[in-house]
Structure 1
Amino acid sequence: MFSVRTVALVLASVALLPLGVPARAVPPPPGPEGLLVPGVPPGPSQPWQIDTPDQVLAPKVYEPTASEDAVEPRDARPGTYALVEYVPLDDAVTRVLCSARTGPYQRGVERWLKLKVDGKQSAADCMAIRAFQQKQGIKPAIGFAGPVTWARMQLLAARENPNAHKKCPVRTGRIACVDLDRQLTWVQKGTKVVFGPVPMRSGRVVHPTRTGWHTIYWRHKNHVSTLYNTPMPYAQFFDGGQAFHAVYGSIHTTIGSMGCVNLTLGDARRLWGVLKKGDRVYVWGHRPGT
């Protein structure tokens, strides 16, 4: 017989679709990540949610009233952006202390931690990964080399110089750099980084964030998606319906957005104070798993 927790975790592995979106529009993620589930409940701040819909079509552009601009979007509830790792279902159900499973980011994690890079989980690997997860507040800290652990490593490695590989063009004006490969975004003016890098979530395989040059053409602090009636706080549109904006849910999910660049509320608020209408955006790479 299945326990209530087992059933809940199985249900958690199924993507919750927004109203009005046919099931065929949201295929399961490819590769081993499609078999993973959140390792711990995300708490009262959010339900078992692995997708937040964004706006696909370009919004109706208008000048927000002074009263609209004066109202700040509501704060996210505590725990909304907790670092919840995606782990194998049986590891979550049995609450293992140290996973014996090889994770989808095993080699990258081994290399980052300066372990033997063989792409196979070992007891030593698990203990080292678990120590990193505990230090970074990633739960469950069971030593599984999952997408959230790898994303955290990518962020830490990029903090000193996110443009070390010169993927984002250097210009005299502000450029918002969107690195799909590492799921990071930052703003630079010349060679100086004036915002970030911060973690983000880009578009899924069927609704990818479009690469190349774009321009911030419309900003709306309290925008709501006209397709899904979903809040898009601090929205800054740069290409059709694709925008930087906050979400009231985790940005660390195995399924991407509907094309927008999703940020935490705090990061989206800070980015709002940095970018202006007319600033350039440069997007490159591919979201992992797409």
Structure 2
Amino acid sequence: MTGTTGTTGTGSAGGTGRALAVALGVVLAVGGCTVEGTGPDGKGRAPVRIDVTTAPAGEPGKRETPRGREEPDGPERTPAGARRPSTPPARTVAPVLWRPGDSGLDVRELQARLRQVEWLVDGPTGTYDDLTERAVRGFQGKRGLPRTGRTDTVTWQRLLGMTHEPGTWELYLMGGQPAAAPDPRCMTGRVLCVSKTSRTLRWMIDGRTLSTMPVRFGSEYTPTREGVFEVYWKSRHHVSTLYDSAMPYAMFFSGGQAVHYSEDFAARGYAGASHGCVNVRDEAAVADLYAQVRNGDKVVVYR
């Protein structure tokens, strides 16, 4: 009796469950059920229909999706009208060629090209300093590139496309270029050996170079005289009576022309010119030179 009742109860409950499932299936099959979603961009997605009349478990070629939908195996499909989430492409980081603290001829060329497009005023110096970093950052920002201040391959290619290859003049606008080979007349004695081609002064004794420094000359209207001279007067705190300008550490060698420190040269580089004198922009270097040079020492100015 008890077994019969239990069996009957179980069968009745199972029948009731099946009946409800069938009824619900009919209702949903006719009316359907929708679930609103939100896409990756925050916009509403098209309603996704859930159909409870799914295939029997284990049916070949079918898989149950997380939202209750049934799709064939293979690449994931997206309901019509819905935006499929996409993975953004990995960002490629361009290799860095030069960065703050670097130095050398390549950095000098970078600075010369930045001067051509007016992002850098000073230099070139050959050292990747804070001014160079600021210039690179400005150049990058103007062209929509990451404003890192470091020169990567993309930044360099853009700069190459906008500029021409700098010549010696542009590369060494502020001095620092290699000194030219000494004139044969500089190879004996104590000599201030001055090359107009490389714009350098060598201090030499018996053919040995003791120091080298960048120099600037007179303009085409007040040229620095060429030839062999000698220092005939030294004046530590000299002031030009003709131009009313300071000429510290002056070492006169031809009329009113002298080797001396120039504050203008230090500030403007080769953008200016002297009135015929040989200007030195490094005050410490010319002070040391002044202490060593004697009256009567030879001065050779050559091309």
Q: TM-score, normalised by structure 1?
A: 0.47
- The structure whose residues are more often helix, as a share, is 2
Higher relative contact order (CA 8 A, sep 6+): 1
Q: TM-score, normalised by structure 2?
A: 0.45
